[in-house]
Structure formats: structure tokens, C-alpha cells
Amino acid sequence: MVEEEKGESSGFKVVDRRTFTSEGQRVPGQAERPQEVEPQRPARRDPGPAAERESEPTISADSARFATLVSYLSTTAMFQLGLLPGPGGEHIPPDLENGQRTIDLLEVLEEKTRGNLSQEEAKLLEEVLYELRISFVEVQKQRVSKQK
């Protein structure tokens, strides 16, 4: 509104299309409109012809979901190993048993998806597992040295 007073225009117009006032009364002149619904497209399972696949981005939705799953499990393992602070920044003591279980889950994922992953997905999983295994051994060594 300040811009309009100065004689400047922002280039867009705001139209209030609400059909009811704040008191719940119908706005005069506003007829009831059918709700606009965007038609849903069916989920695509088949990537289609090669020409269509070439136009798609290099990271598919499936790859993104796989990376999210790996990230979620690796972050969970890092919390369980005490490598990440809690939400308030507090130190979380290591829970090696559950940390090992989460690492085992990632190993099962690697085994069961072998040959079905893209090169990037396989590399991501391999690197995450390597880092988690090394971290697990280090946390285990620290725990043993503290007990002595």
C-alpha cells in the first residue's frame, strides 16, 4: 500500500476471493464457486522411451528416496554411537548395541540391493558403511580404554 501512495506499482495485483467475511457471512456478490481440483496424474512406473529418459534429470526420484533412506539410517547410527549431539546440544552416551543393529540394517540393504543400484547409489552406501564401521570401532576402543 505504501508503494501505491508513492505512485509506484509492484507489477502484481492482489484480489480477495474469499466468499465469507471474518464474521462468517457470505460476501455480497460472491457466488458459490466449485472448488478447483487439479487432476491427478497416475504414478509412472515405466520410464518410457529412451528419448523421454534422456530429458529427465540425472537424479531420479527413486535415487533421491534411496539417498534419504541411507542418510536417515546413517544419522541414526551416528546418534546411537554418540557422535552427534542431542537436540539441545547435550552429549548422548553411546549405545553400541543399537548402533551395531543400525549398521547391520545398512549392510542388509547393501546386500539385498547389490546389482540393482546406480553407481552413485552404490558408492554412497559403500562410503557410509565404511565411515560408520570405522566410527564404531573407534567408539568401542574409547569405551574399552575408559573401563581400564
What is the rounded average pLDDT of the residues 65-91?
A: 92
Length of the chain: 148
Note whether 63 and 121 are within 8 A (CB): yes
Lowest mean pLDDT across 49-53, 57-61, 118-122: 49-53
Taking only the tens place, the pLDDT of each residue in 32-50 is: 555 444 555 555 555 555 5
Query: How far from each other are the two terminal CA atoms of the chain, in whole angstroms?
Result: 72
**Which residue ranges form the domains of the chain, and what is each CATH number?**
52-147 (1.20.58)
Lowest mean pLDDT across 79-83, 96-100, 144-148: 144-148
| Res 41: pLDDT | 54
Lowest mean pLDDT across 58-62, 87-91, 133-137: 58-62
Note whether 99 and 45 are within 8 A (CB): no
Taking only the tens place, the pLDDT of each residue in 101-116 is: 999 999 999 999 999 9
Cβ atoms within 10 Å of 86's Cβ, excluding its own: 10
- Geometric angle at alpha carbon 142, from 111 and 72, rounded to 5°: 40
Task: Scan for cell 554412497, then name that residue.
Answer: 124
Taking only the tens place, the pLDDT of each residue in 1-27 is: 554 555 566 666 666 666 767 676 777
